[in-house]
Chains A and B, each alone.
Chain A
Amino acid sequence: EVQLVESGGGLVQPGRSLKLSCAASGFTFSNYYMAWVRQAPKKGLEWVATISTSGSRTYYPDSVKGRFTISRDNAKSSLYLQMNSLKSEDTATYYCARRRSSSPFDYWGQGVMVTVSS
């Protein structure tokens, strides 16, 4: 059974940093692109980052480019999101998601909440 379990969320002050983790199991992690998608409270979905199978290629929207870094450790079947210079508008539930070749995101974690506030 595919499982994606996020951790590392919490309350952080504006301008500070936070690192999210996602532990994957039930599939060959190194064979899949992975991604982070977020959802602000009572709002819609926003794609945040994608990483290739080897980690050599990463993709970001302008809203987080230069502040967020996605990475992975295939030996540990783990995905990460380093978030720097956090802003109040980064407050959201962050989901780890798996990307299949012909579809965007076929499995999602349960999400982890990040609150950016002083």
Chain B
Amino acid sequence: DIVMTQSPSSLAVSAGETVTINCKSSQSLLSSGNQKNYLAWYQQKPGQSPKLLIYLASTRESGVPDRFIGSGSGTDFTLTISSVQAEDLADYYCQQHYSYPFTFGSGTKLEIK
């Protein structure tokens, strides 16, 4: 199974700051066939279902603000949230969809000071 290691587990920032969340996979998520990385990011606000933010490592889902940026390749990935807003208070998860069993990172709790 591919193990997803996410860091930090929590962080607190002030509105307007930039946040970086890291995700490392135990195996490469890069497909040799199409050169795409099968890594997704989700946002889960308190009391809500998860919401897809980013897929294929860097493709923003329709309707997601452009302050959410996914990057990385192979085994190392990053979610950057620029100019954090109060509404970004949530848990963030990475997930590999390269191979079964699909696995998630342990999550990052983002708090707004």
Contacts and interface: CB of A to CB of B under 8 A. Distances in A.
User: Do the two chains belong together in a single complex?
Assistant: yes
Interface residues of A, number: 21
Nearest to B96: A104
A104 B95 contact: yes
Interface residues on B, range: 20 to 34
A27 interface: no
Contact of B50 (A61, A102, A103, A105): A105
A47 B56 CA distance: 18
Contacts of A44: 93, 104-107
A104 B40 contact: yes
Interface of B: 1, 36, 40, 42, 44, 49-52, 55-56, 59, 61, 93, 95, 97, 100-107
Given A59-B101, A102-B55, A104-B102, 7 more contacts: A50-B100, A95-B50, A102-B56, A103-B55, A104-B55, A106-B61, A108-B49
B40 to A, nearest CB: 5
| B contact face: mostly helix, strand, loop, or mixed | loop
Contact of A95 (B49, B52, B106): B49
A56 to B, nearest CB: 16
A46 B42 CA distance: 13
Contact of A47 (B51, B52, B102, B106): B102
Contacts of A102: 36, 55-56, 59
B104 A103 contact: no
